[in-house]
Structure 1
Amino acid sequence: MSNWLLPEHLADILPAEARRIEELRRALLDLYRTYGFELVAPPLVEYLDSLLTGNGGDLGLRTCKLVDQLSGRTLGVRPDMTPQVARIDAHLLNREGVTRLCYCGSVLHARPADLLSDRELLQIGAELFGHAGVEADIEIIQLAFESVRRAGVEGARLDLSHPGVVHAIVQADEALAESAEELSVLLSNKDVPGLSELAARLPGLRPDSRKALLALPSLYGGPEVLQRARRELPGLPGIEAALGGLESLLCALPDHEFGIDLADVGSGYGYHSGVVFSIYAEGWHDALVKGGRYDGMGKSFGRARPATGFSLDLRKLSSGLPPPPLARAIRAPWGTEASLVRALQALRQAGEIVVQTLPGQAQRLDEFTVDRELVPDGDTWKVRAI
């Protein structure tokens, strides 16, 4: 095997693409600051028991593990930054009232989410802690939409779901308790034959639970899904609360195109507790943005807090955008004389890109177009078009 080959689903990012990713990072962090979000930077590696505290099993499966040479304890490379930010809010900042935090950093998955996904992501996101009302969800969704709009994405669509619907059905029927994980997978895949087979294996399953499980895969579409759900699902308080939360968002965000999928129980990480959303757009095979409410995650770190937020992968976002335009640059000769050095400094301080040509060397620039050159003009230097 060649020693320059990378592991599967890992890739180098070359100059023009790397520059665009960095510009997106700066633009989005600046955007979040205008909303009052403060930047935090959790470590790349933590003790495994801290990293996975209070989270679902899928997060553990995606975590790369290693042994700390100092303590002998098992470490994990973070596969998701949301739990780390929740720990910072609950344990380190320990503030009262609303806290808004944003972040950006690399995360690593032990296995890819699907055949087209990378294992290394550059995750950026925003989290709002301390407010349980729908107002926090509205702010987060609006900020998520503004994030993709700032990146140049057009025609973005919002998909909503609420794991409370499925949780209410499971909690109301003891026969489903031990099959909750299998049930979530079948519902997410809309596997009606599999759901029928599962219902047949559970002799104590209530008739209304069986009817609800077989109805859920078809409960997707536009806002009319909520009325269908009220007719076809049992009138459990948890279901009514979930449908009411979704309805409040629809009324508060009338200018967005919505899709609703009540069989979707949220991310496989298992920490969502309320409204879950995804943003899709043409040109990307999967959701661009994923987010939702995850109240109570901070309890594992000593303080339960209402929380909602979103994250996205900047590398994925950049990969679906049109090729970035080349930046204009100035070519300059090599030299150390004072007048040339002063001219170079003045141009660079003014924001110009100036590339000096080293003696006897040709160069290829992937992200610049050299359309001007710096030439001597008596005792000074001037820029002229090429």
Structure 2
Amino acid sequence: MKGNWLLPESLADMLPAEARRIEDLRRILLDSFRTYGFELVAPPLVEYIESLLSGTGSDLNLRTSKLVDQLSGRTLGIRADMTPQVTRIDAHLLNRLGVTRLCYCGPVLHARPAGLLANRELLQIGAEIYGHAGFEADLEIIHLALDSVRLAGVQTLRLDLCHAGLVRSLIETDPKAVSRADEIMALLRDKDLPGLTQLGTGSDALLPATVGALVRLPQLYGDLTVLERARKELPRLPGVVAALDTLEHLLGALDDVSVGIDLADVGTYGYHSGVTFSVYAQGWHDAIVQGGRYDDVSRAFGRARPATGFSLDLRKLVDGLVPARPAPAIRAPAGQDAALRQAIYALRQTGNIVVQVFPGEVATHDEFMFDRQLVLLDGQWVVQQVL
């Protein structure tokens, strides 16, 4: 018989050091978002599936766990991404005319892990800007994403940029490509050149020009010269030219980070509509932040709004950081003396960690380092250093 302490595959407990580190970082980031003018929202963990998946494409559907609501009999979904929920709040509940900046933090559940090393439960934190279609909103979101990772102590970063509108333009010129859009996006994300080449064969083959352009995209990766190569090697479709112009404009404003171009880092078809980006750092095997523009998602809620944002998994981010050091703490003796209780209270009010041991207790605290103790000297409770 399996032990009752075993957890389902790809789920894990957070032990004290990790939980404290995550909570400390959550507070720091939410406070940082507020300094930019972002307002905090907290959508529910579970929603009707129709609302949860509106405008998001098939990828999110596959990641979403479903259950039956015992009250209504309708199908519910446990959120796998908070962004559609925040979009619903902007479109339906706030219903503002101008720019709205919203941020959030909460758990999400994936029906299957996203990769071999991934957890199914994430603590997602992110920020979204609604109501501004210009590149200024993309730039602010990118700066906030980079600042967030730096606040966690990660300084050497790489930012990869792409533009989903470029791929969409290529797909929409070919009816066969439109019907195979999700397949094309998956092949691009995997940089599967043989798979992309095979799109030109069979009864549902894509046009040769479309296949040729798609095969070029995974090879258009590297420094800023990629944009110049892309202008020469890709069809001069209006959507392609506009996407490359937007990326060039954005690159001119990013001078505080190492920037690369990856024209196959396409996100999800039917979800992202413009600039997309990923943030990488040494110590993590894949992107620690992902974001981009998704102007079409709010259309499903009856109110089309320009939108751009980013999110990251706090658990994943903390997992790659240097382990947290134990926090300095004060050990207080057992007892109910009024003066002792008042001394402990006063110390805690000033932000000190004070652990009052129980009679006969042998305290084991991985989280705390007792470098001081509360002792009675000449009738007064005073703090002494532990030698």
Contact 1:129 1:308 in 2 (8 A): yes
Instruction: Give the Å deviation of 1:108.
Output: 0.4
Q: Does 1:375 align with 2:375?
A: yes
Q: What residue is the counterpart of 1:348 in the other structure?
A: 348
Give the AA of the match of 1:364: T
Over residues 44-69 of structure 1, what are the superposed CA-to-partner deviations in whole Å (9 max), with x where a residue is unaligned?
A: 00011111111111101111111111
Moved more, 73-82 or 178-187: 178-187
Deviant stretches of 4+, over 3 Å: 202-207
Q: What residue is the counterpart of 2:358 in the other structure?
A: 358
Q: What residue is the counterpart of 1:219 in the other structure?
A: 220
Percent of aligned positions with the same letter in both sequences?
65
Moved more, 374-383 or 148-157: 374-383
Give the AA of the match of 2:158: R
Instruction: Give the Å deviation of 1:202.
Output: 5.4
Following superposition of structure 1 onto structure 2, how do residues 179-328 of structure 1 map, counting pairs within 5 Å?
Answer: 179-201=180-202, 205-266=206-267, 268=268, 270-328=270-328
Contact 2:199 2:206 in 1 (8 A): no
Distance 1:212 1:355 in 2: 65
Contact 1:102 1:124 in 2 (8 A): yes
Q: What residue is the counterpart of 1:335 in the other structure?
A: 335
Following superposition of structure 1 onto structure 2, how do residues 122-141 of structure 1 map, counting pairs within 5 Å?
Answer: 122-141=123-142
Moved more, 169-178 or 143-152: 169-178
Instruction: Give the Å deviation of 1:215.
Output: 1.5
Give the AA of the match of 1:295: D
Give the AA of the match of 1:2: G
Q: What residue is the counterpart of 1:78 in the other structure?
A: 79
Identify unmatched segments of 5+ residues in structure 1.
Answer: none
Q: What residue is the counterpart of 2:95 in the other structure?
A: 94
Contact 2:295 2:305 in 1 (8 A): yes
Contact 2:168 2:269 in 1 (8 A): no
TM-score normalised to the size of structure 2? 0.97
- Secondary structure of 1:20's counterpart equals helix
Distance 2:63 2:176 in 1: 30
Distance 2:249 2:335 in 1: 66
CA shift in 2, pair 1:270/1:299, >3 Å:
closer
Q: Does 1:68 align with 2:74?
A: no
Contact 2:55 2:270 in 1 (8 A): no
- Secondary structure of 1:238's counterpart equals helix
TM-score normalised to the size of structure 1? 0.97
CA shift in 2, pair 1:154/1:333, >3 Å:
same
Give the AA of the match of 1:258: V
CA shift in 2, pair 1:359/1:231, >3 Å:
same
Give the AA of the match of 1:54: G
Q: What residue is the counterpart of 2:166 in the other structure?
A: 165
Distance 1:21 1:269 in 2: 32
Number of aligned pairs? Answer: 385
CA shift in 2, pair 1:339/1:24, >3 Å:
same
Q: Does 1:115 align with 2:120?
A: no
Contact 1:278 1:290 in 2 (8 A): yes
Give the AA of the match of 1:322: V
Distance 1:241 1:46 in 2: 37
Distance 1:8 1:375 in 2: 49
Give the AA of the match of 2:361: Q
Q: Does 1:47 align with 2:48?
A: yes
Distance 2:66 2:205 in 1: 41
Give the AA of the match of 2:10: H
Instruction: Give the Å deviation of 1:203.
Output: 7.1
CA shift in 2, pair 1:11/1:56, >3 Å:
same
CA shift in 2, pair 1:53/1:228, >3 Å:
same
Distance 2:188 2:301 in 1: 31
Over residues 68-125 of structure 1, what are the superposed CA-to-partner deviations in whole Å (9 max), with x where a residue is unaligned?
A: 1111111111000000000000000000110000000000000000010000000000
What root-mean-square deviation, in Å, do the aligned CA atoms of Structure 1 and Structure 2 show? 1.2
Contact 1:132 1:307 in 2 (8 A): yes
Instruction: Give the Å deviation of 1:196.
Output: 1.7
Distance 1:21 1:256 in 2: 25
